[in-house]
């Protein structure tokens, strides 16, 4: 049985180079292409894999886009390129913008198995907390909600904060 086509996407935006400007620019470009249904607060956190690197600002967006996974990835890679993102061998290098697909959802708002949920959704506060803010009730394949997955991470690390 074929799974439903994606209708909504939970995206995570992050920047640690020109943070405020690039986060805002990425949001504008996304809003030009997709209907933005919800935005999380902006959070600040240390760079994963580069403890001495500049801290990141992250925000989750829930968008409506009736695209398959390949088309969505192409669209967000185009946004990253437009904002000067260069992908090199160091996955943890500072960057102008990073846009990750955290989840694909069907028209009823249920998480789809393909593409699979992004690994950071269950591993890092900078992804889980903003995601829970805009899609906390969404159930993952194991029945856990996004909010419960965020709560399971426990207390955020030092340096993590919501930006007013």
Predicted confidence (pLDDT) per residue in 144-161, tens digit: 999 999 999 999 998 899
pLDDT at 48: 85
In a domain, 15, yes or no: yes
pLDDT of residue 89: 87
Residue environment code for 94-131, b if the CB has 16+ CB neighbours within 10 A, otherwise e:
ebbbbbbbbbbbeeeeebbeebebbebbbebbbbbbbb
Query: Which residues have a Cβ under 8 Å from the Cβ of 77 and sit 6 or more positions away?
Result: none
CATH code of residue 87: 3.30.70.560
Instruction: Name the residue range of residue 142's domain.
Output: 8-163
In 3D space, the residue among 145, 93, 96, 152 whose CA is nearest the CA of residue 124 turns out to be: 152
Q: Is residue 116 part of a domain?
A: yes
Q: Would the pLDDT of 3 be above 70? A: no
Answer yes or no: is 1 within a domain. Answer: no
Question: pLDDT digit string (tens) for 51-98?
Answer: 788 999 999 999 999 999 999 999 999 999 999 998 888 887 889 999
CA quadruple 50, 95, 65, 28: dihedral sign: positive
Please report the pLDDT score of residue 6 as a whole number.
92
Number of domains forming the structure of the chain: 1
70 exposure class (CB count in 10 Å sphere: 0-12, 13-18, 19+): exposed
- Is 12 a domain residue? yes
- Tell whether 2 is covered by a domain: no
């Amino acid at each position: 049985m074929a799974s439903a086509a994606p209708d909504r996407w939970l995206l995570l935006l992050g920047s640690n180079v020109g943070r405020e400007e690039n986060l805002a620019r990425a949001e504008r470009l996304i809003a030009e292409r997709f209907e933005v249904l919800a935005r999380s607060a902006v959070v600040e956190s240390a760079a994963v894999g580069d403890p001495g690197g500049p801290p990141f600002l992250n925000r989750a967006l829930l968008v409506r886009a009736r695209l398959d996974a390949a088309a969505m990835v192409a669209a967000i890679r185009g946004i990253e390129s437009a904002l000067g993102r260069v992908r090199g061998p160091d996955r943890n290098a500072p960057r102008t913008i990073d846009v990750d697909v955290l989840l694909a959802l069907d028209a009823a708002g249920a998480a789809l198995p393909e593409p699979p949920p992004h690994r950071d959704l269950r591993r890092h506060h900078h992804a889980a907390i903003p995601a829970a803010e805009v899609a906390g009730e969404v159930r993952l394949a194991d029945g856990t909600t996004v909010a419960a997955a965020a709560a399971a991470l426990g207390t955020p690390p030092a340096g993590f904060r919501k930006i007013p």
